[in-house]
Chains A and B, each alone.
Chain A
Amino acid sequence: MASRKTSPNRDSRDKYSILLPTYNERENLPLIVWLLVKYFGESGYNYEIIVIDDGSPDGTLEVAEQLQKIYGEDKILLRPRATKLGLGTAYIHGIKHATGNFIIIMDADLSHHPKFIPEFIEKQKEGDYDLVSGTRYQGNGGVYGWDLRRKLISRGANFLTQVLLRPGASDLTGSFRLYKRAVLESLVERCVSKGYVFQMEMIIRARQLSYTIGEVPISFVDRVYGESKLGGNEIVSFVKGLITLFATT
């Protein structure tokens, strides 16, 4: 779809579906939705928010239902699942129900700020990119709340990945991205990794399929509310994932 630079965003036929996977995000969900509504309202792009809750015991779904009443059923779509089936399948589930021709994937824990979305969209239009990835590692991008050790691990892991895989994108493990719908569908179909490595595989496969990648610097703010679910043994799963991708892609 060509960009319509002359007409205001409101008249554009492009529609952006935001996938918000949630697990115990009762406190964060209203805030992220509020911010999304704010920035999409200001920029005027057509959008919908798809909340994929995996039966959170903290009542995230009830909060989501309240939000749906406030903002309308055309803006907030609830596509819950009964049990915690994981992040990768949550995206697949969300894509099936998305009606936009572009899909934005982000965390619901406020680490990814919706203010960057208009920049993602402009970037996408600028080069007709197949996907636009947020990056913490370039330009004004960065992090908040990380100590030296965590920065070192992050930079070291990123350097190693760049050397071994030459992926053509600077932030592989980040999950704040905008995709053309068909591109995301074809990538998700091919990706076999679970959890943490899924994001890496998505971008590696994208390069392999010669999809074009744009990048936008983002600031990543550590979650304020709630608990991390992926934490555990991140380094081990990263190394395993790296080796797997090295040998298979």
Chain B
Amino acid sequence: MLLSSSLFSGFSPEIPAPAFIMTKLLEWLFGVSVVGAAWALVSFDLLDLSLPQTYREVAWPMPLYLLVSFGCYSLATVGYRVATFNDCDEASNELQEQIKEAKEDLRKKGLKM
């Protein structure tokens, strides 16, 4: 399961709301700025660390690489999940059978449809 770790904590505090909730938007902005700052530091050598040229050459196109690989990962994941999305044929057949049974039984019990 996707969510095993936090699931088994086994208790539910009555009023668990934290005083300040970081919205997902803020979390993302924060994350992106941290990564962006690190990237700028290395690619433009902002701190004058005199990093070797190769570091800068690798770092410079990194955002594009990350974006492209994330895009590929997304497409692959969604594609796989669409392909493996269960078609519940038996569920539908079972329901059809039960609908017949139910209608008959309800008629006997005096329901006027």
Contact = CB atoms under 8 A, between A and B. Distances in A.
Interface of A: 26-27, 30-31, 34-35, 63, 66-67, 70, 110, 113, 127-130, 137-138, 140-146, 148, 151-152, 154-156, 159, 163-166, 168-170, 180, 183, 208-215, 219-221, 224, 245-249
A30 B10 contact: no
B23 A249 contact: yes
Contacts of B103: 30-31
B48 interface: no
Contact of B82 (A67, A148, A247): A148
Contact of A30 (B81, B91, B92, B102): B102
Interface residues of B, number: 41
Interface string B1-15: 111001111101100
B78 interface: yes
Nearest to B8: A127
B74 A159 contact: yes
A152 B75 CA distance: 11
B71 to A, nearest CB: 12
Contacts of A140: 86
B25 to A, nearest CB: 5
A142 B88 contact: yes
A152 B77 CA distance: 11
A21 B77 CA distance: 35
Contact of A141 (B86, B89, B112): B86
Given A210-B16, A215-B1, A221-B92, A34 B106 contact: yes
Given A170-B2, A213-B3, A142 B99 contact: no
A70 B7 contact: no
Contacts of A212: 6-7, 9-10, 12
Contact of A156 (B28, B78, B91, B95): B78
Contacts of A169: 3
A138 B91 contact: no
A156 B71 CA distance: 12
Contacts of A63: 111, 113
Max chain B CB contacts within 10 Å: which of A30, A113, A138?
Answer: A30
B111 A221 contact: no
A169 B91 CA distance: 23
A246 B25 contact: yes
B58 interface: no
B33 interface: no
A70 B95 contact: no
B10 A219 contact: no
B88 A143 contact: yes
B21 interface: yes
Contacts of B91: 113, 142, 144, 219, 221
Nearest to A204: B24
Contacts of A210: 9, 12-13, 16
Contacts of A110: 95, 99
